Each structure stands twice: as C-alpha cells, then as structure tokens.
Amino acid sequence: MDSSDSLKIDENLARFLAAYDQGLEGGDTDALTVNVPFQPANSSSVTTERPVTPMRPDAPNEGSLGELLPDPGYRGGRSSLTPPPSLAGNPHRIGRFELRRQLGKGGCGIVFLAYDPKLRREIALKIPRPEMLLNLDAKRRLKLEALAASEFDHPNLVPVYEWGEIGPLCFIATAFCPGLTLAEWIDRQAFPVPLRQAARLVATVADAVQHAHDRGVLHRDLKPNNVILQEVKVEENDEAPAGGVQMRGEYFIPRVVDFGLAKLAERGGPSETATRQILGTPKYMAPEQAQARREDIGPPADVYALGVVLYELVAGRAPYDGASDVEVLRQSVEGKAAPPRHFRPDLPRDLEAICLKAMARTTTERYRTAIDFADDLRRFLDGRPTIARPLAWSGRAIRWLRRNDQIVAIAVLAVVALFVTLLGTWNSWQNRNLRSTHNKELNDVLSSQAERNRFDQQREYTRHVRDAFYAWRGGSPGVATDSLDSARRAASALVESTDFPLDYLARLVKAERLHIECPAGAVTALAVTPDGTRLATGHADGTLTVWDRATGNQLGTLKAHAGAVTHVAFGLDGTVIVTVGRFDDSSSNLTTWSVTRAGIVAPESGSRRVAIADVTCCVVAPDGKAVFVGGPSGSLVKVQFANPQARLVVPGRVSGAAIVAVSITPDGAKVLVADSSGITCRRTADLEQESLPAPVSRADVTAVATNASGAPVIGTEGGTVFVAGTAPPGAGSGRISWVAVSGTNIAANGKPGRVRIGDADLATGDTGAVLAGAFSHDGKTLFTGSEDGTVRSWDVGRDPHERAAWSEGRVVSITVSSAGGEFVVATDRAVHRHGTGPRVKIAGTVRAVQTLSTGATRAVAFEGKSVVVSDFAASTSREQFRATVPGRRAPTAVALTPDGARLAIGDDSGHVTVWSVTDRAVIETIDTGSRHAVRDLVASDDGRFVATRTPVGVCAWALGTPGQFTTIYADERSVFHFLPGGDRIVTAGRDGGLIVWSVSGREEMRLLGHVGRVTGLGVSPDGRTLVSGYATGEVAFWDLKTGQDLFVIRRHSTPVTAIEFSADGKFMVTGGDGQIAVWDTRD
C-alpha cells in the first residue's frame, strides 16, 4: 500500500467517525457499521495465482470492509449506501487478505473468513469494531496480546499467524478452524451430555487454558461460544488426534478462541480494568471479575469460567440466571448456585464436588490453576480419589485396587514366584504336604458326600420297610412284597445285606394271611366251608355275609336277623348256611339260607327251609346233613336238612336249665350238651341217652368243643380253657366266648386284641375283643373275627412260634446260641434251655445267663452274700467260681460280658466290683458316689466299660482309668444298654424318648417315632437295629443309621424287659413278666 492509499483511508476514517458520533448523539445505537465502498488503490498488485470469490453485492455483507469506511455523501443517521458501480465484481481486501464472509462478531471485534494468497490458505481475520478504532490503548493492547498469543503451541488453542496495521485499522490473522461452537453443539443435543465425555472435554479445554496461563495470557471470557468444536474424521483403527475428544460417537478437537485479546491485562502496562470496568460475559464471570477487583483477577477467574462450562454441560443449564445482567452478577457474587445433582440426580458426587470447587466464591477455595482442575477431572475419570472430595485411606485403597487390578495381580504373582524360588526344596516338601492335605480334604469331602448319599439311601431303605409293614398290617401282601423288593434294591445300592427287621417282615408277608375289613362291623359268628374256599360271617347288626377266602372279596350278603347273629354254620357241603340270631328283644331263632355256586346267599324256600324259634345254640354234624339245636327251656332238637319237617326231638327236657352250648364229636357219634351248671348229658347222634364218663360241674361254662378223642374242651366265664378230666388252670383273662378244636390244636379268644392257640398267646392287632373263631377243615388255618369288624387268618403251624408269646416264669435273663434256634431263659424259678433239653435247676437266685463259644451256658446266681458262677450243659451244672463282695456287702445286681470272662457285681452300698472269672481276681472296684444299692448294671461287649443308674443319672466308667466316668442325665425309671463296640450307650427315659450318647456324654442322636414307657433294650450284633420293649408288650424296631422307627409289633401282653439276639443276628428272643417270644428270620 502506497502513501496515497493511506491519505485516502485517513480522510474516509475522519468522515466515518464524524458520522458515527452524530448517530450516537441522535440515539441511533445501531450505528455501529455503515456500508461504505472501498477499493484498494493498487489493485493491480494483487496476485491472481488463485481466483478469489467476491463478496456477494446483493447481500448486506455485515462486517465487511465497506462497513468500516463511510461514503463521503453520508449525512447522518443510518445509511444504506451501495458500492459505486466501478467496484462491482471486485473483491474486498485488507492488505493482501481477501475477505470471504463474516464468521462472527463480538463485543470488541469482528471476525472474517479471509484468504491469504501469499501462503495459499484460508485464515480467520479479526479487526476491531468501529468504536475501538480511535482507542490507541486498545490498539496497543491488541498488539501486545497478539504477540503473546503467537507464542501458543497447543492443539486446543488457535495459533496467531500475523498482526498488522493499515492506517488506523489493525488486524490479527489466525488459523481458520471450521466447526460449531460448543454453545451451538449443546443447543442441538436432545439428551443430556454423557458425564464422562463432558468431564473429558472440560479437562482438555483446561489444559489449553493452562498453556495460555503459563505464557502470561488470561482469557477472562471463557464460555461455550468461545470454544469451537472442530470435527475430525477418525478411521476405525486410527489413533485419536492430539487434543481430540469423543462426543456422541464423533471426534472433535475443541479449540479456545477469542482469547480476550482486547480484554486481557497487559504485560507490565495499564489496563482498562484500572478504571474499574467490568468486562466479560456475566454468566461466566467470577465474583472478583464481576466486582472489578483488579488485584484479585488471575488464573482462578478462568478456572471459575471452566467450572461454569462444566456445570452447564452436566446440569443442562447455567448456574445463575436472571432478568438482567446485573441480577446475574449479583447471584454470581453471592455464590449460591444450586448443586447440579438437583437437576441431574445421576451425577456422581465426585464430579459434582469438582464442579462446585471450581465455582467456589473465593479464589482460595477454588483450584489454584487450570491444570489442577484438569488433573482432578482426570482423577475422577480414572476412578481415583479426587481433591474436591477426598476419601479415607480405606476408600482410597479400595479404589486403587480396583483401578490397578492388573498391577495387584502381577505383584501377587511376583511375590509368589519369589517365594517359590527362594524356598526351593522346602516348598517342594510343603507342596507334598499340601497335596497330601488336599487329597485328605478331598477324600473327606467325597466321603462326606458319599455319607450323605448313603444316609439318603438308608432313609429310602427305612421308608420302604415301613411301607411294607403298613401294607402287611392292612392286609395287602402284594403291596408289602413290592415295598420289600424296593427295600432290597436300596440295600443292594448300599452294598449291604438286609437286616433283621426286613428279614422278619418278609417272613410275615410270605405266610398266608387273610385280612378282611367287614363293612357290617363287629363279627359275632364265623364259619368255614368244608372245602375251605368260603367264609361266612354273622354280625352284630344281623347281617350275614359270604366271602371268598382266596381273594377276600365279598360274594353275597343279606339281612338275616333283627339283632346280632350268634351262630353260623355250613351244611350240605357248603350249600346251606344255618344262622342263629335275635328275633326280637327276648328270643332268638334259627334260619337256613341257600348258597349258590357263585356264593350268592338267599333265603331257603319251600320245604327246604328250616325255621325254629326260641334257640340258644346249634351245631352242624360233621357230615353236614343235620343240625342239633338247643333251646332256652332245655330242649334238644335234631333237624335233617334233606327233610326239615321230620324233626327228631328229645322227649321232655335234656337239661333243667337253658342250654348254653351243644358240641358233637369229630366222628358225629356223640352229642354233648352243656347248661349253666356244666356238661349235663351226652347223647348219641339219634339223641339216645348215654352215661357221661366224666361229668363237669361248673357254673361258669360258656363254650364247649370236642377234641379228636371225644373229650370235651371247656371255656369258662373266668377266661380259662381246659380239657375235661384235666386239672383246670388258674385265673384266666376274661370271658371265653368261643372255643375251636382241630386235632390237637385248641384255640380260643383271650384278652382284647389277642387269641390263644395252645399255650401261645398271639396278638392279633385288633382294637377290640376277638368274638368268633373257626379252624379250616384241614386244621392248618385258624380264622378269627373281631369286635372292630376284621377277619384274619393264622398259620397254626408257624404263627404260635413266630408271632405269639407263650407262658414262662418272670424272665430275668436270656441268652441265645450263636446260630440261633436254641436259647436259655433264666426265670425267677429255674433255667430252661429251649430246643434241646429240660429245665435246669441251679441253686440260688439266677440273675444272668450267657452262652459261651464252647456251647456251654454260664449262669450267675446269688446265694446269700456270695455270687456263684456255674457252667451247665444238658441238665447238669458245675460251679466254676464263687465270689464274695468285699466288705461282706450284699450283691444286688450283676453284669456278665458276652464272652463270660468278666463279671461286674453291684452291691447294697453303691459299689461295683469287677472280677476276672478266669483269674478269679478283682480287677477294679468302683465307688458310684451313691450310698443306695446298685439295681441296674450293664457291661460293654468288650468289657472296657460298665454303667449303672445313680440318683444323678446313668454313670459309665472306663475300666483301668481311675476316676474317669461320664454322667448322662436320666430319670429313675430309665433303662440303658451299650451298643456294639462299647463306645456308645443308648438310654430311654420315663417319657419313652430314646437317645444315643457317646461314652464321653455327648448326645449323638435322638430317635424319633414310636413313644411309650420303655422297659427293655437290645441291639443287633451288626449295630444297625435297636429294639425297644414297652410296658404295653409292644416291641419296636429302629434304624440306628437314620434314627427312625421301622415298625412296632405287639406280641406280649406284659412288659418286655429282656431282648437278646443270636450272634449271627438272625434270631431274637424277647421276654417279660411271665412270657417269652421268638423272632426267627431263618428259612
């Protein structure tokens, strides 16, 4: 540019300023720019190396050079003068820079996009606003700050290429950075800015601001409008550009522009702030800047603005907002901004603390520098504790570990590797130990799991056994057999043989058994057809029913009498049924009924029908062709079924009282008649009088039958059953309502729920009295009917032995041979060897017996104050050892070990003396601590422990360990027994609760199930089954592996006090007060 150009510019500038002043005086605040054409003088000097796009003449071109130089024809006010025609199509320039378009306009300057033809690049050209052109101080400050900004070398700051003057016009040429401003970008977002992206963006801008601060440049007008987001394209595998950040999936380079080049404090010179001017944007001004405190304005002011930008990004709004700038400044000075979490609840507290610290009211509370602010943001991004919200050492440690998990892992591995390297051989030895321990633990875990599995399988086994018992008791042998098969499979899975309860139950199920629940209720009379295929039952309600013996199915039924049926009998090979039952309240009658092949029962019709009134009893001849009827007046009548009208009647009375029973011999030749005074007469089959060889004069005869020899079998009111001509037994067990005889077998009812077959007293399982009974024609099966409406069958050959108890003296001790079958019972009267020999008489009172391995039996008896040990075989005994209790005390209890080698004696002073039978010497004397007599004493099978009951409970002593004993709580009625091995003991108290203890006194198992007062205990040799006897005569079986009860059977009518197994566990004998019972599982 030559001197003539400068003169022209000065001249035009003077006119422009005069017009501008006039516009201001006239109130025209818009008179900031005027459209004035301008044409550089030396246009030919502009290079034409690159075509320049002229500014559009048809557009206002706000901010163009023509706006700065007014036209000479301007006369005041706003003018819209157009360039002279000679300038049309020519570009506008400032110096060598060709102006393209306006990029933006601020409070102190205008920025144009320009082209530098010399360097062939587009630039951003900033020139002062017209009102700043005559301010020499502003021009000087612009130059100084342009020189300072030229020192910037940061990817997020816009570099300054050149500063220059053309007459009164000054300019700054910087790099052109296309893109949206941050404010524009925020306005375009439909959703809140992601928090971590916002923090990373502000941290990047803070780095750039720190770069400027390091060179002495303060921005003081930081705001979203002064941050340009220059978009860059990043391929998938390319690295992010330097200074770039990712926002919403796109990469931007944020660039800080408008560095307040006309607003920053000069280096060492005066400033406009010296006049207390307030410069900046109110929403982003720090309190000290808003109050124009020059001495306090420094880097913290820019930090405050950055904090406001962060607040706006995360909260979606500025912290302060008012109706006017003054209101906004007042809020800024007060510093009471709402926490950003109020507007965005998901904002992390660390990020909120950083934002509020950057916006602190005083500079001392803010971050000291922008880099401190940026570092704290990066701490938040890395998950480390922040300066704004410090954590306790524990919180810092946790965050450090989370943040540096790989370092921690590497460090741990390094330490382990170092440890392995240094310890070498020792570590190898240790590893062997660890492997051994691990294998042991693994084996323990596997063993524990296997034990749990075994326990579950054992529970399954016990469940099947229990189900089989319930099915058998309910009369469902098929279901019972299936359950037993399931139990055997469970035992096979446990790799174990079946135990005693299952084997015994299998024998019960295998035996023939009929079980019928009669819908008509109580069974009062019962008969069996000669061929044994059908049963007939009479009931208390007068019902008559016919049953199939094989299936238990009902074949036919009808209402036979108005009251209870007292007698039922089959005639004519089972085609006719005779019944006696109540006709009215005062008398009974006899009626006959026909039975078809299908078992259908119906009234006999026509001349075949037999009907007799006033009947008390009847009996059908063995050939089934005739019936003998007794009446209440002592009459006796014989009726032939083939010709009921031709009755044979004894003239007059055969008895002076009502006939209570009529019986006939098996050959049908003799008829016995009994009344209330006994058996009064005997008649032939034709009712001819015969002499009675052995009259029976008893006033309590209730039932009569005849045995194979023709002798009467009599039942009495007192409950006794005997054969005429023999000595009748003592007191019985209640009224005998029926007697059945088959060969040598005699059966009759006993106590409620029991039936007697010979000497055996068999528990039926019925809840009421057994009111009726009859043998099958072959005599092998007995059928019974009970008050509870149940019909059952009994195997005469096996059940008395396997399911009954028979009379014996008061049982004191039992011992069984190793293979079973033979056993010895010691009672209060004698010792009886069952199976091989007669009773053996031993002097004194026998208190214990034990079978030795030699087959001999060892017995312990009291003779005064001496204890005598004798061995016997067959019917003779030989004394082996005689002991006297030390101190001449009287013996009160004994316990003999299974091998017979040790004998424990309790005395009346509370002492227990243990003897060696072989050495005949005292092993140990135990003071129980009680002065009461020792009443109950047991020894373990290995002889290591003895136990007795004391007032404080059951006490156990380990022999050879002085003073060592265990006390187990138990009441004075408790019973106790050592389990096999001797290390456990089971107790049963008054309440019937069974508990297994260790000999150390620790409770190991509490058995659950059947309850009642336990009077005796026994254990199978394999230790799998516990057997408890009860005061009710019941015997319960328990599985010791699961602690559950298996089943309960009642075979005794008296308390069960003694329980003993054979050595092989296949045979068991139970005994009590006057009864013993055999439990045999052998084939």
Same domain, yes or no: 962 and 1012: no
Question: What does the pLDDT read at residue 732?
Answer: 65
Is residue 942 domain-resident?
A: yes
> Domain with 142 in it: what CATH number?
3.30.200.20
Same domain, yes or no: 398 and 265: yes
Same domain, yes or no: 244 and 359: yes
Same domain, yes or no: 89 and 160: yes
> Domain with 1064 in it: what CATH number?
2.130.10.10
Query: d(Cα 616, Cα 601) in Å, to the nearest integer?
Result: 23
Residue 924 domain boundaries: 885-968
Edge to edge, the sheet with strand 984-988 lists 975-978, 984-988, 994-998, 1003-1007
The alpha-helical segments, DSSP class H, found in 404-476 are: 405-473
Is residue 802 domain-resident?
A: no
Is residue 546 domain-resident?
A: no
What separation in angstroms does the CA of 240 have from each of 196, 200, 236?
17, 14, 10
Question: What does the pLDDT read at residue 646?
Answer: 77
Domain end marker among 488, 510, 532:
510
Question: What does the pLDDT read at residue 996?
Answer: 94
Same domain, yes or no: 415 and 490: yes
The alpha-helical segments, DSSP class H, found in 34-192 are: 65-68, 136-149, 182-187
Residue 895: name the closest of 975, 991, 967, 813 by CA: 813
Whole-model pTM?
Answer: 0.55
What separation in angstroms does the CA of 763 have from each of 584, 772, 841, 1013?
35, 15, 31, 19
Residues of the chain with pLDDT under 70: 1-91, 107-108, 138, 145, 259-279, 391-397, 399, 402-403, 512, 585-586, 606-608, 652, 656, 680, 694, 727-733, 805, 807, 835-844, 874-876, 963-964
> Domain with 212 in it: what CATH number?
1.10.510.10
Same domain, yes or no: 188 and 289: yes
Same domain, yes or no: 150 and 192: no
Is residue 575 domain-resident?
A: no
Q: What is the pLDDT of residues 315-329, one digit of tens each?
A: 989 999 888 888 988
- The separation between CA 766 and the C-alpha centre of its own chain, rounded to angstroms, equals 41
- Which helix (H) or strand (E) covers residue 489, if one does? helix 477-493
Is residue 614 domain-resident?
A: no
Is residue 670 domain-resident?
A: no
868 and 882 Cβ atoms separated by less than 8 Å: yes
Hey, which residues does 169 pair with through a beta bridge? 166
1061 and 1081 Cβ atoms separated by less than 8 Å: no
Same domain, yes or no: 346 and 418: no
Question: What does the pLDDT read at residue 836?
Answer: 59
Same domain, yes or no: 194 and 224: yes
Residue 639: name the closest of 654, 622, 658, 619 by CA: 619
Instruction: State the DSSP string of 999-1033.
Output: TTS-EEEEEBS--S-EEEEEE-TTSSEEEEEETTS
Same domain, yes or no: 234 and 357: yes
Same domain, yes or no: 434 and 393: no
Question: What does the pLDDT read at residue 449?
Answer: 85
Is residue 953 domain-resident?
A: yes
Strand 601-603 and strand 611-613: the pairing is unpaired
What are the phi and psi torsion angles at 117 (to 5°)?
A: -70, -20
The domain tally of the chain equals 5
Same domain, yes or no: 1004 and 1070: yes
Query: d(Cα 758, Cα 748) in Å, to the nearest integer?
Result: 9
Query: d(Cα 1018, Cα 1016) in Å, to the nearest integer?
Result: 7
Residue 811: name the closest of 825, 796, 792, 797 by CA: 825
Query: d(Cα 536, Cα 526) in Å, to the nearest integer?
Result: 6
Is residue 188 domain-resident?
A: yes
The alpha-helical segments, DSSP class H, found in 3-56 are: 3-25
Domain end marker among 381, 403, 425:
403
Edge to edge, the sheet with strand 169-175 lists 93-94, 97-105, 109-116, 121-128, 169-175, 160-166
Helix, strand, coil share (%) of the chain residues, nearest 5: 25, 35, 40
Domain end marker among 365, 382, 403:
403
**77 by DSSP, 3-state: which?**
coil
The label of the residue with tokens 């055999």 reads 1078
Q: CB count, 10 Å around CB of 414?
A: 10
Question: What does the pLDDT read at residue 647?
Answer: 82
Edge to edge, the sheet with strand 689-690 lists 659-664, 670-675, 678-684, 689-690
Query: d(Cα 1083, Cα 1081) in Å, to the nearest integer?
Result: 7
Residue 367: name the closest of 299, 424, 429 by CA: 299
Strand 1044-1050 and strand 1034-1039: the pairing is antiparallel
